[in-house]
Amino acid sequence: MLNNFNHTIDIWIKALEQYDFIQLCTKPSPNSWSPGQMYKHLVDDTNYYIGQIKICLSTNEHADEEASPFAKTMLLNNDFPDEIIDGNPANDYIPQPQSKEQLMMDLIAVKNEMNNLQELIERSSFKGKTKHPGLNYFNANEWFQLAEMHFRHHLRQKKRIDDLLRFFN
C-alpha cells in the first residue's frame, strides 16, 4: 500500500513541476477547476484522511461498523469508478493556490505524513473506524487506501484539464 501511495503522489509531485503559476490558476471553463484547485483539493482531502487515520489508530470505537456497499466495491477493486463523480458542494469553493512552492511543500508534507502513518498502522493494536461523509465507516488501512485511490482517480481529471488547457494555448 505504501509503495502504491508513494508512486502515485510522486506522479503528482513531478507533474507540478511542469506548470507555471499562471497555468496552475487557469480554469479551462467557468465550471471546471484549475490545476491548482485540483492540487489543493487533493492536499486538503488527504489531510482529512490523515486525521481520520489518526483517530482510528487511537480507538476501538465503531470497529463493527462497515463501509457502504459502493465503498466496499471500490476498495475491493482498488479504484474509483471510471466516471466523473459529483463531490461535496463545498468543492465548488476551493480557492486558488497561494503559490506553486506552497503546493509543493504541501504535497511533500502529505507524503511524509502518510509514510509515518503507515508505520503506525502496522504497529497499532487499535481497530477503530471513523465515518466517511458518504461512504460510511473506514478503518485506518481503508482510509490509507482511499487516499491513494483518490490521487489516482484525479489523474483522469488532470488529463482532461491539461488537454483543455493545451487546446486553449
In this prediction, residue 31 carries a pLDDT of 82
Phi/psi zone of residue 165: left (φ > 0), alpha (ψ -120 to 50 degrees), beta?
Answer: alpha
Count of other CB atoms within 10 angstroms of residue 66:
12
Strand ranges for 21-120 from DSSP E: none
Answer for the pair 18, 3: CB distance below 8 angstroms, yes or no.
no
The pTM (predicted TM-score) of the whole model is 0.92
In a domain, 88, yes or no: no
Q: Kindly list the distances between the CA atom of residue 74 and the CA atoms of 35, 41, 77, 163, in Å, as whole numbers in the listed order.
A: 25, 20, 5, 27
- All cell numbers assigned to 46: 488527504
pLDDT tens column, 12-51: 999 999 999 999 999 988 888 999 999 999 999 999 999 9
Strand ranges for 40-85 from DSSP E: none
When divided into structural domains, the chain yields a total of 1
Answer for the pair 8, 148: CB distance below 8 angstroms, yes or no.
yes
In this prediction, residue 149 carries a pLDDT of 97
In a domain, 94, yes or no: no
In a domain, 70, yes or no: yes
In this prediction, residue 82 carries a pLDDT of 79
In a domain, 16, yes or no: yes
Choose among 148, 117, 128, 124: nearest CA to 45.
148
pLDDT band per the 50, 70, 90 thresholds, residue 168: low
In this prediction, residue 93 carries a pLDDT of 83
Residue 117: domain span:
2-83+101-168
In this prediction, residue 110 carries a pLDDT of 98
pLDDT band per the 50, 70, 90 thresholds, residue 153: very high
In a domain, 92, yes or no: no
In a domain, 132, yes or no: yes
pLDDT band per the 50, 70, 90 thresholds, residue 53: very high
Q: Decide if pLDDT at 169 tops 90.
A: no
Q: For residue 8, what is the enclosing H or E element?
A: helix 2-16
pLDDT tens column, 97-127: 999 999 999 999 999 999 999 999 999 999 9
3-state class of 139 per DSSP? strand
pLDDT tens column, 55-103: 999 999 999 999 999 999 999 999 998 776 555 445 568 999 999 999 9
CATH number at residue 108: 1.20.120.450
In a domain, 96, yes or no: no
Q: Decide if pLDDT at 163 tops 70.
A: yes
In a domain, 116, yes or no: yes
d(CA 10, CA 118): 17
